[in-house]
Amino acid sequence: MRIGVVVNPIAGMGGRVGLKGTDGKVEEARARGADPRAPNRARRMFETLRGANEAVELLVWGGEMGESEAREVGLSPTVLGEPAAAETTAADTRRAVEAFVDADVDLVLFVGGDGTAADVAETLDGTGVPMLGAPAGVKVYSSVFAVSPEDAATVATTFDRTERREVMDIDEDDYREGEVHPELRGVAHVPVADALQSSKQLGGGTVDALAAGVADDVREASGKTFVLGPGSTVGAVKAELGFEGSPIGVDVWRDGDVVALDASESEILDCLGPEEENVIVVSPIGGQGFVFGRGNPQLSPDVIRRCEVEIIASRAKLDGIGELHVDTDDPELDEELRGWTRVRVGRFERRMMKVV
């Protein structure tokens, strides 16, 4: 089996520093101290691939677009080409995919976000070659991604059939302004597996009673710091508290006041008190079930470890999910978060859901 692997090394850089993505914001992300996210996730994927059947042949693109990460974990892939310059672009991704197709690969495996997925899908259009993503972007709306980098490696080396799935993307400038309008960018052949995420659904039913109940508890919790995640469900809580929160950002509330609006990871950490006095309020993504790791990278492992976590969701949203997921960039923390948990679904009611 021949697998072509391409990594977008800048994917997801803008997330933890509050930029909601990296399109057109690479230099600003670096100025804010952002660390590349994709290379580490690529290494995790390659670690799993290293234990795969010896019959798997890996073809990669040069430098940080695959070669470096593969060699760092002890693999010896075949390098088909190099990026045109030190700063990689979408054109490099397309050139890599074209080379993989010419080399008759059985699958194109990529590490990136929705923008990378769109580039790969458009290049593969009409070839019949399947694709699969290891998620590394801030916003991951497409259904061509595995749940985690390790899952991507496992699916890539074990699948026996494919199906057509949607590639979605949004305009990041609109996204930063709170406008979320996913657009279909393509339809791709993707391996059939349980460990793939669904397309993100918008909407999800009334949350008025839920938001009112959560807001009442927040007001009564004197001295506690509440880290309020993105999305319309938590947005309803913010509205009940009497302020216009950032719809796709993270806001921090304490003792009747907003202490940080649209906060980055470092700003959230600066706001936190002792561990027992911090609470993250977050809602899973409709259709996918991700609590952490999609659209909220500001809620980093360092932030999560210093907080209690309260998950809230409408009954309708949970009915469409089935199970919850986490993908924090920290496998040990992911394992700690897995298992049965209570999700608040109303003013008082809760439902048991499993994080897998």
What is the reported pLDDT for 106? Answer: 97
The overall average pLDDT reported for the chain is 87
Could you tell me the pLDDT band of residue 315, with boundaries at 50, 70 and 90?
Answer: confident
Q: CA 252, CA 226: separation in Å to the nearest integer? A: 6
Residue reference for tokens 């694709």: 131
Query: Each residue of 214-242: pLDDT tens digit?
Result: 999 999 999 999 999 999 999 999 999 99
**CATH top-level class of 2-191:** alpha beta
Q: Where are the alpha helices (DSSP H) in the chain?
A: 26-31, 38-50, 67-72, 90-102, 114-124, 149-158, 172-176, 208-220, 232-240, 265-271, 301-305, 315-319, 331-337
Residues 62-80 as b/e (b if ≥16 CB within 10 A, e otherwise) read: ebbbbbbbbeeeebebebb
Of 237, 277, 274, give the one whose Cα is nearest residue 258.
Answer: 237
Question: What pLDDT is recorded for position 200?
Answer: 55
pLDDT one-digit tens code per residue, 278-303: 999 999 998 889 999 998 999 999 99
List the one residue out of 237, 113, 119, 92 whose CA is nearest residue 175.
113
More confident residue, 316 or 145: 145
Evaluate if residue 103 carries a pLDDT over 90.
Answer: yes
Say if residues 130 and 189 touch (Cβ distance below 8 Å): yes
Provide the pLDDT confidence category of residue 29 given band limits of 50, 70 and 90.
Answer: very low
CA angle 162-165-169, nearest 5°?
Answer: 145
Region of residue 347 (left: phi > 0; alpha: psi -120 to 50; beta: else): alpha
The pLDDT value given to residue 205: 40
- Would you state the pLDDT for residue 18? 46
pLDDT in tens, 52-95: 766 899 999 999 999 999 999 999 999 999 999 988 999 999 99
The pLDDT value recorded for residue 174 is: 54
Most confident of 13-27, 196-210, 311-325: 311-325
What is the residue type of 78?
A: T
Of 270, 269, 255, 339, whose CA–CA distance to 301 is shortest?
269
Q: Rounded to whole angstroms, how far apart are CA atoms 278 and 296?
A: 17
Q: How many CA atoms lie within 13 A of 46 on its CB side?
A: 28
Percent share of the chain, pLDDT over 90: 66
pLDDT given for residue 27 in this prediction: 59
* pLDDT at residue 54 in the model: 65
What tokens appear for 339 in the block?
């298992």
Residue ranges per domain, the chain? Answer: 2-191, 208-355
Residue 272 has pLDDT above 50, yes or no: yes
pLDDT for residue 53: 62
Local structure of 2: helix, strand or coil: strand
Q: Over range 256-273, report the average pLDDT.
A: 95
